[in-house]
Chain A
Amino acid sequence: MSVTTTLARNAVQQQPGWLVRLFDYKPFLIVVCLTPAIGLLLVFLTYPLGLGVWLAFTDTTIGRRGVFVGLENFQYLLTDPLWWNAVFYSVFYTAVATFGKFALGFWLALLLNNHFPFKSLLRAIVLLPWIVPTVLSALAFWWIYDPQFSIISYFLVDVLHVRSTNVDFLGSPWPARFSLIAANIWRGIPFVAISLLAGLQTISPSLYEAAMLDGATAWQRFRYITFPMMLPILAIVMTFSIIFTFTDFQLVYAITRGGPVNSTHLLATLAFQRGIAGGELGEGAAIAVSMIPFLVFATLFSYFGLARRKWQQGEAND
C-alpha cells in the first residue's frame, strides 16, 4: 500500500502539467462535467419548450415566419369542436386507461409477490409488452382489430358462438375508443406491475406476521398494511403513467390516426395533424401548449404524493 502511495505521489509531482491542474480545479471540473448534459437539455428541451409557447401565439406555418397574433390561436381552439373532442377523449382515455392499468397491474404485482417456481422467468415475460416498440405491438393490435379477419371476432363467433356477426372494433367511435384504451392498458400493465412489485418487496414481512397474530383478514392486511405502505410509490408511478398516457401519440397514430371521423384524436395526434401534417405550426403548438395545464396538475399530484413519504416510513418530520 505504502509503495503504491509513494509511486502515485511521485507520478503526480513529476508532471504537474497545467492541464492536469486545471482539470483538478474543482469549479472548472464541475462546469466541464455538467456542460454536455445541461447543454443538450438547454438546446433541445428548454429552448424548444419556450419556442413552443412563443409559436402558440404566432401564426407560423411551415416555410413562413409568423407574426405575433396574441390569443387568436387559443380563441380559435375554444370554438373548435375537434379540439373539445380531443380534450374530452384525452381525459377519458387517461382516466379509464390509468384506472385499468393500476387495478390490473396492482393485482399482477400482488400475484407475482407470491412464491412459485419459475418466478424470475415469469417476471421477465411479463415485462415484454413494455420492451417491444409500441408502434410494432400497435400494428399487431390493428391486425387483431381487423374488421374482417379479427381473431377476437373469430373466437367469439366461430369458437364460442356467442355472437353471430364480427365485432366492428375500429369502424365506429365508441368501440374504437375502447379498443385503443384496451391496447393502452395492455401496454401499461407490465410497467405498473413491475414497479409496484419492487415496492411490495420492500414491505417488511414482520408487519404481516404481527397482523396475522392479531387476527387480521387478508383484506384487512391489504387495506391497512399493503395499501398505505405502497402509497408513495403508487403516487410516483401514477404520475408518470398519467403524464405519458395523456400525451400518448403512438398507439392512436398507428391504429386509427384519429379516425373514425376524428373521434379518437388525442391532443398529441391532433397537434401532429394540424402542426406537422397540415403545416399550421402555430396552431399545432397551441394545441400542444394546451396540454401543459393538465401536466402541471399531474406533477403537483406527484409532489404531494411524495410529501407524504416521511411519516409513512416512520421518520421524523423535518
Chain B
Amino acid sequence: MTEAVAEAAKSSNVASSTPETMEWDSRARRMVMIYLPLSCFVLILLFPFYWMAITSFKPNAELLNYKDHNPFWITSPTLAHIKHLLFETAYPHWLMTTMSVAVGATFLSLFSSTLAAYAIERLRFRGSPYVGLGIYLAYLVPPSILFIPLATVVVQFGLFDSPLALILVYPTFLVPFCTWLLIGYFKSIPYELEECALVDGATRLQILRRITLPLAVPGLISAGIFSFTLSWNEFIYALAFIQSSANKTVPVAILTELVSGDVYQWGALMAGSLLGSLPVAIFYSLFVDYYVSSLTGAVKE
C-alpha cells in the first residue's frame, strides 16, 4: 500500500494527482496506520489507572469473584476502602508529610537553582561553563548509588528518621534539573534589558528581582511543578532514611504499612495508590503545557 502511494507520487506530481482516489486512499490508510495503533497505545497506557480506580470502588465480594461479576465494571460501588484508608490508617498524616516535604524541597531547590542559573548565565565569570557542566554531570549520578553513603551522612547529621533529611537531600536531583531549565530560560531573555537597567543605575540584585525573574516566570513555574512532582514521587531515599510510621511519605507508607500479612487488601491498596496519585495528576492537568515544555526544553538543552 505504501509502495502504491509512493508509485502514484512518483509517476505524477503530488499536487496534480486525482484528488478523489488519493483522498479515499489516504483516509483508509490513516485509519489503519494512525488511529488504530494510537488507540491501542492509549488503551494500554491508561488501563492500569482504570484498573486502579475501579478496584478502589469495588466491594470485596466483587473484587475476588470474577465468575458472577464482570471484572471490568462495578455493579455496586462502595466507598468502604477509601473510608478505611482515611479513618483507620495514618493516611492523612502521610499525605501531609509528603506534601510538606515536596513543598519544602521544591522551594529550596528553586531558590538555589535560580541564583546558580543567574550567576552562570548572567554574571559570566571565568569558568562559568565548567560550573554549569559540573551541575549537569550531577544529574547523571543516580540515587541508587548514593543512598547507602547518604544514609550514613544523614545519621551523622542527626537527621535520621526526620522529614527534614528528605527536604535537604531531594535538591541533589532537583537542583541540576532546575538549573539547566532556568539557564535556558535566562538565555531567552535579551541581555540588552539588563544593560539598560545597569546604565540606569540599578544594582544587580534589583535587576534579578525586577527584570529577570518576572520575565522568567514560565521557567520558574515549569521548574517548580517538575520539582514538586519529582519529590512527591521519590522513593528510595524516603525508604532508606525514614523509619517511624508517622514520618513516612505516601509511596513508602503504602508499600510498607498497607502491605501486610498474606491476604493483601487490594481495595485499600488501590485506593491508596489512587489518592496518592491524585495530587500530582491534578497538578499535572493544570499545568500540562509547562510540563511538556520543561520536559522537552531540558532534553534539548
Name the contact of A281 in the complex, choosing from B131, B152, B204, B270 (C-beta under 8 A).
Answer: B152
Min Cβ gap A150→B in Å is: 10
- Partner-contacting stretch, out of A22-30, A81-89, A173-181: A22-30
Q: Given contacts A30-B123, A133-B277, is CB(A114)–CB(B175) below 8 Å?
A: no
| Residue of A33, A195, A248 contacting most chain B CB atoms (<10 Å) | A33
Q: Is the CB of B115 within 8 A of A134?
A: no
Min Cβ gap A2→B in Å is: 10
Taking CB atoms, residues of chain B closer than 8 Å to A30 are: 119, 123, 125
Interface string of B175-186 (1 = CB under 8 A from A): 110010000000
Taking CB atoms, residues of chain A closer than 8 Å to B14 are: 212-213
Cβ of B73 under 8 Å from chain A? no
Min Cβ gap B110→A in Å is: 11
Which residue of B has the minimal Cβ distance to A157? B66
Q: Given contacts A36-B111, A111-B41, is CB(A268)–CB(B144) below 8 Å?
A: yes
Q: Is the CB of B277 within 8 A of A49?
A: no
Contacting residues of chain B (86-136) with chain A, CB-CB under 8 angstroms: 108-109, 111-113, 115-116, 118-120, 123, 125, 131, 135
Q: Given contacts A34-B119, A37-B135, A136-B254, is CB(A52)–CB(B148) below 8 Å?
A: yes
Q: Is the CB of B254 within 8 A of A140?
A: no
- Partner-contacting stretch, out of B74-82, B187-195, B216-224, B287-295: B287-295
Cβ of B229 under 8 Å from chain A? yes
Q: Is the CB of A236 within 8 A of B112?
A: no
Which residue of A has the minimal Cβ distance to B112? A36
Q: Is the CB of B150 within 8 A of A114?
A: no
Contacting residues of chain A (274-300) with chain B, CB-CB under 8 angstroms: 275-276, 281, 284-285, 288-289, 291-292, 295, 299
Cα A133 to Cα B277 with chains together (Å): 6
Interface string of A123-146 (1 = CB under 8 A from B): 111111101111111011101101
Tell me the total A-B contact number using a CB cutoff of 8 A.
306
Contacting residues of chain A (1-43) with chain B, CB-CB under 8 angstroms: 4-5, 8-9, 11-13, 20, 23-24, 26-27, 29-30, 32-34, 36-38, 40-41, 43
Cα A24 to Cα B295 with chains together (Å): 34
Which residue of A has the minimal Cβ distance to B50? A140
- Partner-contacting stretch, out of A67-75, A92-100, A186-194: A186-194
Q: Is the CB of A114 within 8 A of B34?
A: yes
Cβ of A116 under 8 Å from chain B? yes
Q: Is the CB of B138 within 8 A of A236?
A: no
Cβ of B201 under 8 Å from chain A? yes
Q: Given contacts A124-B288, A131-B284, A144-B48, is CB(A44)–CB(B150) below 8 Å?
A: yes
Cβ of A218 under 8 Å from chain B? yes
Cβ of A215 under 8 Å from chain B? yes
Cα A275 to Cα B270 with chains together (Å): 30
Q: Given contacts A48-B153, A198-B296, is CB(A136)–CB(B281) below 8 Å?
A: no
Given A49-B145, A114-B30, A272-B147: 19 more A-B contacts, CB < 8 Å:
A8-B202, A12-B202, A30-B119, A44-B168, A44-B169, A45-B172, A48-B150, A51-B153, A52-B149, A122-B42, A124-B284, A136-B52, A136-B250, A143-B51, A151-B51, A288-B145, A289-B145, A295-B142, A299-B140
A-B contact pairs, 26 of them (CB 8 A): A20-B203, A23-B205, A24-B204, A26-B123, A29-B204, A32-B115, A33-B116, A33-B118, A33-B123, A34-B116, A36-B111, A36-B115, A38-B116, A45-B138, A49-B141, A52-B145, A55-B152, A126-B45, A132-B49, A134-B251, A144-B51, A151-B51, A154-B71, A254-B255, A271-B144, A291-B145
Q: Which residues of B contact A (CB under 8 A)?
A: 2-3, 5-6, 9-10, 13-14, 30, 34-35, 37-38, 41-42, 44-46, 48-49, 51-52, 55, 63-64, 66, 71-72, 108-109, 111-113, 115-116, 118-120, 123, 125, 131, 135, 138, 140-153, 168-169, 171-172, 175-176, 179, 200-205, 229, 232-233, 235-236, 239-240, 250-252, 254-255, 266, 269-270, 272-273, 276-277, 280-281, 284-285, 288, 291-292, 295-296, 299-300
